Structure 1
């Protein structure tokens, strides 16, 4: 029995449990794939300080046969193109073909995604349902070459498998284009791709978006707000938001040499006076080495933190849409009297 035991990669796990990633049924899967690609495009543009120009194209994948009507099709090709900063060549395969690979997970900062699963999971879904790779074209500047990749996930190792890579001529001066071929179902109405696009424009009036529907219709949404949202600020964890296990890990990982310094520097809203008070309540020396605090001492520290009155975390780390921006989005999309 023991000889049969082996490690399971995260890719293998999600291959058999794809419903956990939003691929419950073909209709939802199509929406999830579009959303993940668009989220990546918007985040890339905003982090680089670029007003986003995004093109979404969803078309029926005929595969050499006569294309059925969009409402009856079961396979679609999704292409999302942005004018963002592009991706350096070495990073393209892991970003699109490795689960739990990303830049946001270890940052406590407002963002559309965090785990590094989204776009690579969409690619894995396409790989499972159609056998097709993810196709990426990206360029970082007008002077740099455009890199073309076809990648799939090696689900046993959770590593990218590069099927093709080359430099190509591409008309865009910079940006990224990702193409997925997936099984799905196109249907208008609630929780559809069409509704998602309309809601995205309301919430992001600084985006210029073109949507090419599976029925061949082109919908252009102009930019109605010429300012990017304020960039969200990274924040330290609040003491009330952690559990004992996380506290133990932070005690081992900290670069500070005293317990009081660790509490006041690695947490939000903990001043040196509050840190000293927590140490006193826990019966620990403020000058104790954080790495020496474990077992019962760590549990006492955790209970002291929870019993100490600490200010709520600041809200200036958030980036709300703002009244002028949301109104400009509403005026464009919703016909009514305001």
Structure 2
């Protein structure tokens, strides 16, 4: 048996609503709301309460406080399954204090005892919370496992995401039962005004057109319509051309968080990040939705295993039922052989050193079941995911093509660097002349920019030297980047001074190198031992990577801070029984 406690610092729940929210199934708050939200449809937490009392016969304990009240309310309750009503067995008012002993201003805490099995690995509570933390960086999440290990996913952003705007239901996405309820609840006096004011994308002119198509008098009172009349109106909706719903009700993850999520899952150095793809918002059955995709390739990822897939719906990780999910089906339907990954028969999950992240945001995610474990393969959604994957795949293909070309150029350059000096030296000796300047010759043969870095250490002082030689026919501009230990960033001496300098050790220069010339960058670091800085990675951007040898293109996660997870071993051991 496990005791599970979940606490937040949200707005809290007013006293009269607590029993209904936790002790009544289908007590929903957003059945008519059209905006991206996790909502409260009355299935999740009340289902947990019911499962807890069925498996352990113990009640749920809820503490909640709203900001304007002085005390919190603690309610102990069961869910009466026969009547679908809460049964309150105990109630108290108290001063609710946090871990630091100070009174809590607002929030909710629910505790239940359940029988179950605690699992680890990819489908664990830890992985679910990690995925949640990655795409919700404004949240600080603390998790204590049954063995007493406390893990804190630190807050990575100080600003809240843009709040979604609730819009009115779109006629193409409305269900008949909901439509009948709206007819009874509306204050509109006429049918056409009801249609024009209670739905999005319906003007007065369109409302009258719908009434005409349905053969209904637009001046009818909405409450007078029968079920058959409502069905006629809904059929007419499908025959009238309407604008798609507004999309400011959606909240996508965003490019930076997609990169951050991929970086954290990867753990090590990446070879390439595709630019995250955000598709234009589309509509299925009148419900707005938007697809985002990101791919990371190479690095330390295994080459002989299926690619790792990260699935998200409305910023919530999906860990189960992968085979039934629209995301998995879309990935399997793409011919990844065209983009550089192995795939048997051109279908199925591809193999290769890659991670694919897909996020679907919608006002109404079409889950395969109430458990919300997978997205149903709605054709419109699958098609949008495929288009986003194909665009990201084309970026990956371009990268791999450039990588192959750079490899050939590097081989040629190394050969020229080895042979030309030998030829020049022997020719000069035979002709009894000085060795000629080889830069013009190499420039004509290679047409590359050569970046060479070296480190020398002596007596606690380490010197980093980066030489950039322009073996092309014209002047070249590029940006040069590297990273030194953050402990010495303040005391290090630079020549020239970097154009960028960050507290985490990242530095960068904007270079302009004329044809046949060399630009030198030097960094002196004090109090550093040679084993602490045996090698330094050098990156570049602002120039076609095919023409650069000796450094790597700037990675897509440069400057993005990784998710911070702090682990603490608590005294007292396990929380499970």
- TM-score (normalised: structure 1): 0.71
**Equivalence for 2:190:** 258
Quickly say closer, same or farther: Cα 1:253–1:184, change in 2 above 3 A. same
State how far apart, in whole Å, the 1-side matches of 2:201 and 2:60 are. 44
Indicate the residue corresponding to 2:126 in structure 1. Answer: 194
Structure 1 300/220 Cα, relative in aligned 2: closer, same or farther at 3 Å?
A: closer
- The structure-2 alpha-carbon separation of the partners of 1:335 and 1:276, relative to structure 1 and needing over 3 Å to count, comes to same
Aligned pair partner of 1:209 in 141, 158, 180: 141
Partners of 1:124 and 1:321 in 2: CA distance:
33
Give the superposition deviation at 1:222.
0.7
Partner Cα separation in structure 1 for residue 227 and residue 43 of structure 2 = 34
Partner residue of 2:206?
Answer: 274
1:32 is aligned to: none
1:284 is the counterpart of 2:210: no
Secondary structure of the residue aligned to 1:148 is strand
Equivalent in 24, 29, 51 of residue 125 of structure 1: 51
8 Å contact 2:142–2:152 — kept in the other structure? yes
* Deviation of 1:282 (Å): 2.6
SS state of the match for residue 225, structure 1? Answer: coil
In structure 2, the residue matched to 1:232 is 164
Bigger Rg over Cα: 2
What is the aligned counterpart of 2:86 among 151, 160, 170?
A: 160
- More relative contact order in 1 or in 2 (CA 8 Å, sep 6+)? 1
Please report how far the alpha carbon of residue 105 of structure 1 lies from its aligned counterpart in structure 2 after TM superposition: 3.1
Tell me if the contact between 1:202 and 1:333 (Cα under 8 Å) persists in the aligned partners.
no
Residue in 2 that maps onto 1:107: 33
Residue 89 (structure 1) aligned to one of 9, 15, 34: 15
2:174 is aligned, of 232, 242, 245, to: 242
- Number of aligned pairs? 264
Instruction: Name structure 1 gaps, 5 residues minimum.
Output: 1-74
| Aligned-partner SS, 2:164 | coil
Does the CA contact (< 8 Å) of 2:30 and 2:40 recur in 1? Answer: yes
Aligned CA distance change for structure 1 residues 108 and 96 (closer, same or farther; 3 Å): same
Q: Would the aligned equivalents of 1:133 and 1:151 in 2 still touch at CA under 8 Å?
A: yes
Q: Distance in 2 between matches of 1:95 and 1:247?
A: 25
Deviation at 1:86, TM superposition (A): 2.4
Question: What aligned pairs does 1:12-161 form with structure 2 within 5 A after superposition?
Answer: 75-141=1-67, 144-161=70-87
Q: Distance in 2 between matches of 1:99 and 1:267?
A: 28
Counterpart for residue 306 of structure 1: 238
Q: Which protein is richer in strand relative to its size?
A: 2
Pairwise CA RMSD: 2.3
| SS at structure 2 position matched to 1:260 | helix
Distance 1:309 1:104 in 2: 27
| 8 Å Cα contact 1:205-1:326 kept in structure 2 | no
Q: 1:227 to 1:297 in 2, by over 3 A?
A: same
Deviation digits for residues 232-258 of structure 1, max 9, x if unmatched? 222222111234454444334322122
CA–CA separation in structure 2 for the residues paired with 1:292 and 1:146: 46
Alignment partners' CA distance in 2, 1:261 and 1:187 = 55
Quote the offset at 1:186 in angstroms: 0.9
Tell me the residue number matched to 2:336: none
**Where do 4+ consecutive residues of structure 1 move more than 6 Å?**
none
Which stretch shows the higher mean deviation, 220-229 or 143-152?
143-152
Output one character per residue of 1:167-208: Cα deviation in whole Å (capped at 9) or x when no partner. 334323232221111011011123221211111111211111
User: Distance in 1 between the 2:65 and 2:138 partners?
Assistant: 23
Change (3 A) 1:294 1:87: closer
Change (3 A) 1:245 1:140: closer
| CA gap 1:296/1:127 in 2 versus in 1, 3 angstroms | closer
Cα pair distance change 1:78/1:281, threshold 3 Å: same
Q: Provide the C-alpha distance between the structure 2 equivalents of 1:196 and 1:236, rounded to a whole number of angstroms.
A: 32
CA contact (8 A) 1:205 1:328 kept: no
**Does structure 2 retain, via aligned residues, the 8 Å contact 1:224–1:329?**
no
Q: In 2, distance between residues paired with 1:171 and 1:333? A: 36
Runs (5+) with no aligned partner, structure 2: 99-103, 271-556, 558-577
